[in-house]
Amino acid sequence: MYQTVIGNEKREFEQGTQFLSIAREYQRQYTDDIVLVVHNNKLKELNRILDADGTLEFVTTADVNGRKAYRRSMLMLLQKAVFELYGTAVRVRVMHTVGAGQYCEMEGKKADQAVLDQLRDEMLRLAEADLTIHKHTIHTDAAISKFHEYGMTDKEKLFYYRRSSHVNLYDMDGYKDYFYGYMVPSTGYLKYFGLEVYGRGFVLIYPKEQTKRTEPFQSSDKLYHTMMESAAWARKMHIATIGELNEQIVKGRIQDVILLQEAEMEQRIGKLAEQIAGHKDKKFIMIAGPSSSGKTTFSHRLSIQLRAHGMIPHPIGLDNYYVDRNKTPLDENGQYDFECLEAVDLALFNSDMTKLLAGERIELPHFNFMSGKREYKGDFLQLGTDDILVIEGIHGLNDRLSHTLPTETKFKIYISALTQISVDEHNAIPTTDGRLIRRIVRDARTRNSSAERTIQMWESVRRGEERNIFPFQEEADVMFNSALIYEMAVLKMYAEPLLFAIGTDSPQHLQAKRLLKFLDYFLQVPSEDVNKNSILREFIGGSCFHV
């Protein structure tokens, strides 16, 4: 018998008891489906067996890890349904997230409405059958042989460069595949989804806050086209997956990859500056994006390109327009909410910008983060014919920020690190993981903040982004992808020691372990060859800009 603590309750369970049977006993206490457990601070699947005394917590589809497991399992259900309908003649490539869905493309068949209706019926049939999802551990060499046999060259390359001697494969009624992360125990959990034709493919729509229904799909056309352009460039470079990136590293071509990526990014920034310079009425360049998108370095590089086009840019940080600390609104937990729009002195910002637009001379404020008060240090500014303001801040795309400024004077740029490579054709890399790893490295270097602290704050940061940034992204005139195809191979050497420092007793250990597993896919690249003006330097250090 194993002594198990569940909440405030002490229980005994026989050796060999499945977590699934325990979860079923407690399910009535939860509104959302239990799909995983945390046993002694280790995330485990429900098909696993209790093998020690300890604490047990349930993970539902309302939790971050549970939501990831549900979505991952839905993708396997999708692949299984396609296989059942069309065999090996049709393949599905999982691309990137769009809103609350996963954008996918079919190879060998057009994903029209009739095909999606047929696919939906087959997925529901498989869900109704409640097929067990088995996990099998096999030797890496055997996995490579299987993937070669299946024609899955992306997975074959992925595991060729992996040090682990074993691989976990999942089996759904004879359909076998590899998935990056844990799965739900059976297809009976996978009843809530939608399918919609979109772009060149379709979107698999997931539930959001309401975990047992989906909401109408909200398209993000600008985001979609930006992601597709980045993915097309990655395929053109033959680096669409981690395995292909590792192949370039092994063949000694990584310096060329770095130079090509940086040249491509500089070209995009140059074209953007040319576009802005062609509109003489634009006086306010509003730059916004989520955390760790590289906004600061981007604004410096854009300013240089604007100068090359005969313009005189002046950077302005919205942080300098914070209200005094004692006037900052509080969030639901009674903490200062620095990310809400009301934390900015909107009246002062609009007054200053309106005066500048009228040709008046003003003194710009500087916010002292130590004292929590605004200061003035004799920084005067007056705009001439060729002067332009480059304004950076999370609310840059929100018209409430600059409501007194004429629309035609503003040029809005949304910037984010939209990861353009995948683990393999069935496992996309969440863009949030790339930004989180960037932030872990940067916070350790510039703020003396531990990875544990950064991960702890991340969900709060993400909630702020969902509220203040993402709703306005489609209003941007231009979207800019700041992700670098090679960056994880460089960030690996900085991030791994920070993540290993998080102890097994920490609430952030599960997230750290997941990120370490992710970084283990990448071969390491030294940072010496990274350009001094690269956005990556904002995080690893050594930038030629003051970032």
Q: What is the pTM assigned to this prediction?
A: 0.91
Neighbour tally for 269: CB within 10 Å: 18
Mean pLDDT by 10 residues, the chain (547 residues): 94 94 97 97 95 96 95 97 95 89 94 97 98 94 89 90 88 92 96 96 95 91 93 94 96 97 97 95 95 93 96 93 93 85 95 96 94 94 95 92 95 94 91 95 94 93 90 94 97 98 94 94 96 97 92
What Rg do the C-alpha atoms of the chain give, in angstroms? 25
Compute how many other C-beta atoms are within 10 angstroms of the C-beta atom of residue 9.
9
- AA identity, residue 458: W
Starting at the earlier edge strand, list the strands of the sheet with 54-60: 9-13, 2-6, 54-60, 34-39, 42-45
Cα–Cα distances in angstroms (integers) from residue 343 to residues 285, 404, 413, 460, in the given order: 21, 18, 22, 16
Nearest by Cα to 488 from 456, 445, 513, 520: 520
Contact (Cβ atoms closer than 8 angstroms) between residue 70 and residue 189: yes
Instruction: Let me know if 127 is exposed, middle or buried by CB neighbors in 10 A (0-12, 13-18, 19+).
Output: buried
Asked whether the beta carbons of 216 and 66 are under 8 A apart, the reply is no
- Token readout for 108 is 């060998």
CA dist., res. 453 & res. 456, Å (int): 5
Alpha helices in 428-486 (DSSP H): 431-446, 451-468
One-character DSSP codes across 462-476: HHHHHHHTGGGGGG-
**Other beta carbons within 10 Å of 208:** 12
pLDDT of residue 441: 97
> What is the DSSP secondary structure assignment for residue 231, as one 8-state letter?
H
Q: How far apart, in whole angstroms, are the C-alpha atoms of residue 33 and residue 191?
A: 11
Amino acid at 15: Q
